[in-house]
Structure 1
Amino acid sequence: MVGGTLPARKVMVVADPSRDSAAALQYALSHVLVENDTLILLHVENPNNSAWKIPFSAIFKRPSNGSAAASQRNPSTFIEGVIGAGGTNVGVEGEGTIDFLEAMKHACAIVYPNLKVQTENMGMDGKDKASVILAQSKAHWVELLIVGQKTTLSNAILGSRRRSLRGLDTAEFLIQNSQCTCVAVQRKAMGGYLLNSKTHKNFWLLA
């Protein structure tokens, strides 16, 4: 550390047009990233998944006037307004949709104007999603991998007792197999985040 500046890191957020992914980015911006970091937004495209064809306006809201200044005072509060449940069109001049990677990048730029943000759009090429993510995190020398995690009945019941890799969801598989630190993020309706990693299970973090 020189002159009180934290060492720059590479942080990867798994990006897709879902509330889970939006929550992962929200957590990264409000609790993890600083402006000298590099953020990589990685999307692994699954051509068989029709869910990716929905308008992203259901997840991202257009920030109101003056929100950029508010973001400097409280990034977490600002991201609540940009990434959340429902919202207005984020399309350009009346268009109904916008590329979600660009929408995420735009949200990052408003909160941290000097943050280096890269976007990567990868195909699966016959592999599973988790394997592609692991390969890309290794190729980019990522120090922290962040992924949104769905709340499922099996996760709620089994929690940290679920040890076998067989049948694990993508987030759980990444936690167990990533060479860098991997954090799975769930945004809770009552506020805050539920975080899972190799060292922390169901860790509650207030927003």
Structure 2
Amino acid sequence: MEGRNITSGSRKVMVVAEPNRESAGALQYALSHAVVQHDELILLHIENPNSWISTFSTFLRRPSMSSTSSINNNNNASPLERSMEDVDFLEEMKIACKAAQPNIRVRVEKVIMEGKDKAAAILALTKVHAVDVLVIGQRRSFSTAILGHRRSGGSMRGRITTDTAEFLIEHSQCTCVGVQKKGQNAGYFLNTKTHRNFWLLA
């Protein structure tokens, strides 16, 4: 599968970090299959201050007994998935990375996006940081499962995460891997420009 070359020098692997299950699965894949020792792992989080998600995240920063009990009762989720519910999920992800791969460098990159397409911003940052492999969590929609992926250009403004991942796979100059985690130990569906719905065991 693309994205793993242990004979070359250290590489930069970027994971699009979001407080959701898809992002947790993408990070798990990156840690177990994409990075090797001495690589650099960049956790990229793009935040739109005008989006409802940002407003909701601000609300979540207020501690409550209900949110605490929800986390405590989520026994079926993996540590990475549970960390997505934490307030400082980026720091939790960084800690999880160092625990899983002590010999890699981990850096957090948080970018405020104002009026720009998310996909375009991610592509620009992969060039700025000379990224070798881009990993993004991908939600498998019903239409994608039945009809396959859509190849589409143009602006990504207002499109859903699935399309953002597909756009990055098609237009990224570096290797881009869309990851769909299938249960805790069930493996991954991977999508790249040259491999579609590639099944990889956990």
TM value normalised by structure 1: 0.76
Give the gaps of 5 or more residues in structure 1.
62-79, 91-95
Distance 1:169 1:58, change over 3 A: farther
CA contact (8 A) 2:138 2:178 kept: yes
Q: Secondary structure of 2:148's partner? A: helix
CA distance in 1, matches of 2:68, 2:180: 20
| Among candidates 128, 153, 172, match of residue 165 of structure 1 | 153
CA distance in 2, matches of 1:57, 1:44: 26
TM-superposition CA deviations, 1:67-122 (whole Å, max 9, x none): xxxxxxxxxxxxx84224xx5xx6xxxxx943111010000111112210110110
Bigger mean CA offset, 23-32 vs 168-177: 168-177
Bigger mean CA offset, 142-151 vs 49-58: 49-58
Q: Which residue does 1:192 correspond to in 2?
A: 187
CA contact (8 A) 1:19 1:59 kept: no
What amino acid is aligned across from residue 186 of structure 1 in structure 2? Q
Q: Which residue does 2:135 correspond to in 1?
A: 146
Please report how far the alpha carbon of residue 159 of structure 1 lies from its aligned counterpart in structure 2 after TM superposition. 1.3
Distance 1:123 1:129, change over 3 A: same
CA distance in 2, matches of 1:60, 1:149: 23
Q: Which residue does 1:30 correspond to in 2?
A: 32
TM-superposition CA deviations, 1:6-29 (whole Å, max 9, x none): 410000000010100000000000
What amino acid is aligned across from residue 164 of structure 1 in structure 2? S
Give the gaps of 5 or more residues in structure 2.
1-5, 62-66
CA contact (8 A) 1:60 1:82 kept: no
TM value normalised by structure 2: 0.78
Q: Which residue does 1:18 correspond to in 2?
A: 20
Distance 1:39 1:119, change over 3 A: same
CA distance in 2, matches of 1:184, 1:5: 24
CA distance in 2, matches of 1:44, 1:175: 18
What amino acid is aligned across from residue 188 of structure 1 in structure 2? K
Q: Which residue does 1:46 correspond to in 2?
A: 48
- How many residue pairs match? The answer is 177
What amino acid is aligned across from residue 33 of structure 1 in structure 2? V
Please report how far the alpha carbon of residue 59 of structure 1 lies from its aligned counterpart in structure 2 after TM superposition. 11
Q: Identity across aligned pairs (percent)? A: 53
Runs of 4+ more than 6 Å apart:
55-61
Over the aligned positions, Cα root-mean-square deviation in angstroms equals 2.9
Please report how far the alpha carbon of residue 165 of structure 1 lies from its aligned counterpart in structure 2 after TM superposition. 3.1
CA distance in 2, matches of 1:113, 1:60: 26
CA contact (8 A) 2:177 2:190 kept: yes
CA contact (8 A) 1:184 1:197 kept: yes
Please report how far the alpha carbon of residue 57 of structure 1 lies from its aligned counterpart in structure 2 after TM superposition. 7.8
